[in-house]
Structure 1
Amino acid sequence: MSIIGLYLRLSPSELARAAREPDWASVFADEVAERESERPVSPSERRGHDTGKAWDALRFLLERHAFPVDLLHGEEELPGADDWGYGPPRVLTPEHVTLAADALAPLPFEALLGDVTAADLARSDVYPTGLWADDTALPYLGTHYTDLTAFVRTTARYRHGLLVWAG
């Protein structure tokens, strides 16, 4: 089994409820995942998102650019939340999301990647190291970056926040 990065888009009132009732947030996350897996949902309507196994490489690359938000782990732990896979979920407020969307806007994947190769990711022990056996994994990484950028941009447009966790 692999670790993947997961996101749940929440309105400000839903974020407040999640802070008061973390068990509600867990149930809601499961409901969203089930609903969105059962029928196609347009990108602008998606409430859930995952970065697949690309999450750690994205973290690595964003840190190299001194990214202003911890987009791959979240900023603050959801108070009182249980473990959702590899720890409790963390929160990105609507303000964090807007900051992230603004920082992502001028950063296409080629600029994010720079001169980093798949071999560099493997040498840096970026999870999962076996994925970075050759440069054919870089398009996978680019697709996940593009999709995450679009999801964050949509979340910012709605003025929503995110719960972030590893599952």
Structure 2
Amino acid sequence: MNNGDVFCILATGSRHHEDAGLIGESLYEVIAGTGARNIVIRHGACPGGADQIFQEFCESEAAWFDREGRSLIVDPVPADWDFCGPDCPPRRHRVRKKPGDVFHPGVLDDYCPGAGPRRNLAMVEKLPRPDVAVGFPLGRSSGTENCLRAAKAAGIPVRRFTTRARRGGDAA
């Protein structure tokens, strides 16, 4: 079930998520069931939304884990929105950034829409291998759903947490 004394959680969620209570409670629910001394929380490093809440959770709770003789390790995996990969179509496919766009950081005025799915796959494949993927979708949440599908395809158990099902995330 886990990688020995390390339990890796792949955490993904909407860039518009604001429910830190739901996310914190849900992460603690998943962590409580592991028994592992070292917890890794891997997220997509998107500014704002769920990724920012994952980051803040790790920063605020790390001292408590340390006092308990455990460790909470944050593992952000940002997308490279400036880069087009070999999987990109040969025709023009880049998207111009809207004024004030903070969700696609980079130096260029446009971004590659394939960067998010490439980052999601990298989070699934990176070692230590995730023991579980937890998702916090809002509405359509196409990036969150893409990440959860990639995790499920890799044989990683998936749990979704929504504001309607605040306790006991739904297994997917």
TM exceeding 0.5: no
Structure number with the higher helix fraction is: 1
